[in-house]
Structures are given as structure tokens and as C-alpha cells.
């Protein structure tokens, strides 16, 4: 469409100019830059719509997530199903922004790839990325879409089962997944050291079952699923204070992404209308009877 506008505009200028030249007029034809200005205006008029030229693929909302993905964030390792908290949220956001469901395109990345500096082949990445100042040096974040509690997961006979203070927690052998906010939490909030590091969440829980570690910490929603389905031998033994360095979970964008304000507007709308809370109630509700350790 843009190319036709440029051609028609140029021909019109030429046609209007002919009589002037024939009569000896001195007027100049319009500068050639004018059609380019019209094209730029057309692109600006599409910003904030599904055809926004700033999208990775205009007409599509391209969203990255993990490989694999886990409940309750996404069920059955199938982002496109919309069953789960995070993919349900993405489809609600897409509808708010004017996209059809079929226009949401999913791609897979590792967790570390999402927080690596540089150009991204998607619009944003969602896989429980905690918003931190350190990460904001390399990527951009959306506003937070969820602020999880931190759960201590251990075997029933672990040294942390029945703990009521941080002092008791520090006596345990801890493990965490590399590159996650949970590792920083154990160091900076719990105050423990010599943390065993694992490549992924599955390996961390294998370490727990093999008695290599006594406990780990993860977000409460993940802990609920893990202890109910994946590692039923383990249980949630305590809830810890929110991490002061963790501002909640946010979408990750490449640094300087121009679509962040637009995505935030849509996210604010589905938070305000209760859509996000409905998803929380459906997928992330916990047990109020779990022990809370505050110091």
C-alpha cells in the first residue's frame, strides 16, 4: 500500500507541474522527500495496533518462553493451549491489544538466553523473570505482573522441617538453580553460604531427593505444583519474607525496545479489570496454614 501511495503522489506532482513548465512558469515541483514523510506518517498511525511496525513481526505478537515450561505457569509443556497462569495472561493481554488468538506466536529459549544482552527474535519473554536492578542493566522489563511469596521446599525429615527462624535455616545445606533469583535470595536474605548450584530446576530437586542438599527455595506457586505432582516426597515447610531486591515478575524485552510502554498499557488494563487476579485464583492459590518465618 505504501508503494502505491508513493507512485501516485509522484505522478500527481508531475502532472500538475506540466502546465507550469509549458507556460514558462518558474515554480518548482514539490520536493521528492514529501512521499517519504507520508510513509513515515502511515507507520506512526499503525503504532499501538497489531500492525505496529515496531513488532518483531508486524501482525503477530511473538512471545518467548522456556523449554520446557512447567505448571502452574503453563500446563502440559504447551504454551499455545492457554492453560496455565503465564500463557493465560499472554492471551488475555493479546486480546486487550487487539490481536486474534492465532496471531500469538510462541518461541522457546533457555532461561539464561532471555536475560542475555543483545537483539531478541521476539517481542518479549515470559518465564518468571524477577525484576532486578542488575538485570535492568542489560534488558528492559515490563511492569510486574505477579509478586510471588518464597517457599522453602524440603523432605519431611529435613533439618529445616519445623524451623522457626533464619538462624535455624542457616544450619541447613541449601541448593538452587544457577542464574535464578532464588540463589541470590539464599545469600542475601537468608544469609547462607556454600550453596550447591544446579543447571535447572529438575536437577535441583534430584539433588534434594538424593540427600545432596536439605532444602531449596522457589516461588510459592511453583512449589505447590512440585510438591503435589513432580516431587510428592517433598513438602513446603515454610514461607519466607518477600525479597527486597525482587520487584516481582516482569516480561523481558531487548534493551531499548520501543514497544514497552504499549505492552505496559495493555498489562495495566488487564490487571485493573481483574483478569490477572482471576488467573491467580485459578492457578496460583496457596495454603494459608504453611509456617511463616520472618526473621
Q: What is the pLDDT of residues 213-269, one digit of tens each?
A: 999 999 888 898 889 888 999 999 999 988 776 789 999 999 999 999 999 999 999
Residue 87: predicted pLDDT: 98
- Helix (H) or strand (E) holding 113, with range, is helix 111-114
Query: Counting Cβ atoms within 10 Å, is residue 284 exposed (0-12), middle (13-18) or buried (19+)?
Result: buried
Length of the chain: 295
Confidence of residue 291 (pLDDT cuts 50, 70, 90): confident
Strands laid side by side in the 215-219 sheet: 215-219, 150-154, 235-240
What are the residue ranges spanned by the domains of the chain?
2-45, 61-147+247-283, 150-240
- Helix (H) or strand (E) holding 34, with range, is helix 33-45
Mean of the pLDDT values across residues 141-164?
93
Does this model's pTM top 0.85? My answer is no
Residue 36 has pLDDT above 90, yes or no: no
For the ranges 3-17, 27-41, 271-285, the one whose mean pLDDT is highest: 271-285
Residue 23 has pLDDT above 80, yes or no: no
Residue 204: predicted pLDDT: 94
Mean of the pLDDT values across residues 262-287?
93
- Residue 195, all three cell numbers: 550453596
Homologous superfamily of 61-147+247-283? Periplasmic binding protein-like II (3.40.190.10)
Per-residue model confidence as pLDDT tens digits over 160-196 = 998 999 999 999 999 999 888 899 899 999 999 889 9
Residue 20 has pLDDT above 60, yes or no: no
State the Cα–Cα distance between residues 22 and 35, nearest whole angstrom: 25
Comparing CA positions, the residue from 226, 204, 252, 230 lying closest to residue 65 is 252
Residue 206 has pLDDT above 90, yes or no: yes
State the Cα–Cα distance between residues 259 and 293, nearest whole angstrom: 40
Residue 24: predicted pLDDT: 43
The label of the residue with cell 503465564 reads: 86
Computed on alpha carbons and rounded to an integer, the radius of gyration of the chain in Å comes to 26
State the Cα–Cα distance between residues 280 and 75, nearest whole angstrom: 14
Confidence of residue 37 (pLDDT cuts 50, 70, 90): low
State the Cα–Cα distance between residues 175 and 185, nearest whole angstrom: 11
Mean pLDDT, rounded, of the chain: 86
The reply to whether 150-240 shares the fold of 61-147+247-283 is: yes
b/e 161-183 (16+ beta carbons within 10 angstroms → b):
bebeebeebeebbbbbbebbbbb
Residue 12: predicted pLDDT: 32
- Helix (H) or strand (E) holding 239, with range, is strand 235-240
**CB contact at 8 A, 185 and 193:** no
Residue 42: predicted pLDDT: 67
| Structural fold of domain 150-240 | D-Maltodextrin-Binding Protein; domain 2 (3.40.190)
Amino acid at each position: 500500500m505504501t508503494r502505491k501511495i508513493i507512485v501516485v503522489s509522484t505522478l500527481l506532482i508531475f502532472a500538475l507541474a506540466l502546465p507550469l513548465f509549458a507556460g514558462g512558469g518558474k515554480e518548482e515541483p514539490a520536493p521528492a522527500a514529501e512521499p517519504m514523510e507520508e510513509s513515515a506518517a502511515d507507520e506512526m498511525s499503525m503504532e499501538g495496533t497489531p500492525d505496529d511496525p515496531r513488532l518483531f513481526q508486524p501482525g503477530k505478537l511473538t512471545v518467548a518462553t522456556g523449554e520446557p515450561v512447567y505448571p502452574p505457569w503453563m500446563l502440559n509443556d504447551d504454551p499455545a493451549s492457554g492453560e496455565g497462569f503465564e500463557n493465560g495472561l499472554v492471551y488475555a493481554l493479546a486480546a486487550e491489544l487487539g490481536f486474534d488468538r492465532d496471531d500469538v506466536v510462541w518461541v522457546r529459549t533457555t532461561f539464561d538466553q532471555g536475560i542475555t544482552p543483545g537483539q531478541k527474535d521476539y517481542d518479549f519473554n515470559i518465564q518468571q523473570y524477577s525484576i532486578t536492578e542488575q538485570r535492568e542493566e542489560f534488558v528492559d522489563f515490563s511492569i510486574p505482573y505477579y509478586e510471588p511469596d518464597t517457599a522453602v521446599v524440603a523432605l519431611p525429615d529435613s533439618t529445616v522441617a519445623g524451623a522457626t527462624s533464619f538462624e535455624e535455616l542457616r544450619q541447613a545445606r541449601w541448593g538452587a538453580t544457577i542464574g535464578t533469583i532464588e540463589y541470590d535470595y539464599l545469600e542475601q536474605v537468608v544469609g547462607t553460604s556454600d550453596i550447591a548450584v544446579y543447571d535447572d530446576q529438575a536437577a535441583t530437586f534430584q539433588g534434594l531427593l538424593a540427600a545432596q542438599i536439605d532444602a531449596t527455595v522457589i516461588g510459592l506457586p511453583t512449589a505447590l505444583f512440585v510438591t503435589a505432582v513432580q516431587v510428592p516426597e517433598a513438602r513446603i515447610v515454610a514461607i519466607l519474607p518477600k525479597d527486597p531486591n525482587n520487584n516481582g515478575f516482569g516480561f523481558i524485552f531487548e534493551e531499548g525496545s520501543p514497544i514497552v510502554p504499549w505492552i505496559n498499557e495493555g498489562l495495566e488494563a488487564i490487571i485493573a479489570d481483574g483478569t490477572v487476579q482471576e488467573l491467580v485464583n485459578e492457578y496460583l492459590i496457596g495454603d494459608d496454614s504453611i509456617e511463616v518465618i520472618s526473621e
